[in-house]
Structure 1
């Protein structure tokens, strides 16, 4: 089965958002300002179709197999993250009536893999690796640099995959009070 990786479109929201939510877990509550799954899903779909936040379709790539969204990659630079998160903080603060702060997830100068996830139906076909390799190729095409991601400390299989692909654990990280590893791979031009 052939895998095609392409830039996401607004109409990919219905298929992509549940996968992103599965991958980021409780962080989805922080990103949406909602606590119930149906409300989180609806707000995430709204954010996905907008252009000014980290989970916008503009920062997302999908892997297609058999014409279906089989995997999702949300990917942007640390410099973009500053603006994207400021926009999201402003939106969520206005929505809630209180100041909302989004946890930083990347260091300056990095290309950041916010989310990489594969639909359970398509796991075991190397789609996650293809999405990670795609992100690496984007970095290479833009002159090289540091490619980073955060992974929950208990996700041992994911950590092994990232290590196999050349990512190194550079420091502990905390997102919504939970422990993560910040992993980085230096990519040449």
Structure 2
């Protein structure tokens, strides 16, 4: 069942987000380690403005377990999505500005699909496709009509999934030293007649 994320999902979602962070080879992860990263993500998850905050995501729940998650935000809010991380680090006595992400990712005038991940135990069952379809609910909730995302050029399987869902290439972008294709599609509206 796909549902809006809840505050109590933080620990389970943090484990899924860690998979993405490891794939991206972020300096933050190298500097703080996996255990600290999990704690940071789970703690910040309760802040609805955070990049991975509960209010920005949907989860697929199967038999009481989080099998997958998707998170995103309107491009106009990109400047604030990591402030909860900064606040958390300061609360832990870390005064220097440390960022998990250093590069802007969203293009103007879109709802940006930041992260989509499926627990490895549930892969191959269409959960990623279901989550991808469900992002329209998040974008519409935020009043957006275009969804954008970045796909690593080294991940052709993911790109095929996005192309099947109607996304098209609109540009390229460098994120944390990796080259990505930026893709967009219009929000799919449901016919309610």
Q: Which residue of 2 aligns with 1:179?
A: 179
Question: Structure 2: how far apart are the matches of 1:32 and 1:172?
Answer: 25
Distance change >3 Å, CA 145–CA 162, structure 1 → 2: same
Distance change >3 Å, CA 27–CA 53, structure 1 → 2: farther
- 8 Å CA contact 1:76–1:112 kept in 2: the answer is yes
Q: Considering fraction of residues, name the structure with more helix.
A: 1
Q: Which residue of 2 aligns with 1:168?
A: 168
**C-alpha RMSD of the superposition:** 2.6
Q: Which one of the candidate residues 82, 87, 91 is aligned to 1:91?
A: 87
Look up the SS of the partner of 2:104 in the other structure.
coil
Look up the SS of the partner of 2:125 in the other structure.
coil
Distance change >3 Å, CA 61–CA 140, structure 1 → 2: closer
Look up the SS of the partner of 2:16 in the other structure.
helix
Q: Which residue of 2 aligns with 1:132?
A: 132
Q: Which residue of 2 aligns with 1:71?
A: 68
Question: Structure 1: how far apart are the matches of 2:142 and 2:80?
Answer: 20
**Structure 1 residues without counterparts, runs of 5 or longer:** none
Question: Structure 1: how far apart are the matches of 2:58 and 2:6?
Answer: 9
Q: Which residue of 2 aligns with 1:38?
A: 35
Question: Structure 2: how far apart are the matches of 1:45 and 1:142?
Answer: 23
Question: Structure 2: how far apart are the matches of 1:8 and 1:84?
Answer: 17
TM-score where L is the length of structure 1: 0.84
CA deviation string 1:80-135 (max 9, x = no partner): 222224x2475378564334563211011101111111111111111111111111
- 8 Å CA contact 1:143–1:188 kept in 2: the answer is no
- 8 Å CA contact 1:28–1:40 kept in 2: the answer is no
CA deviation string 1:51-104 (max 9, x = no partner): 33211111121111122111001122112222224x247537856433456321
**Structure 2 residues without counterparts, runs of 5 or longer:** none
TM-score where L is the length of structure 2: 0.82
Distance change >3 Å, CA 30–CA 84, structure 1 → 2: farther
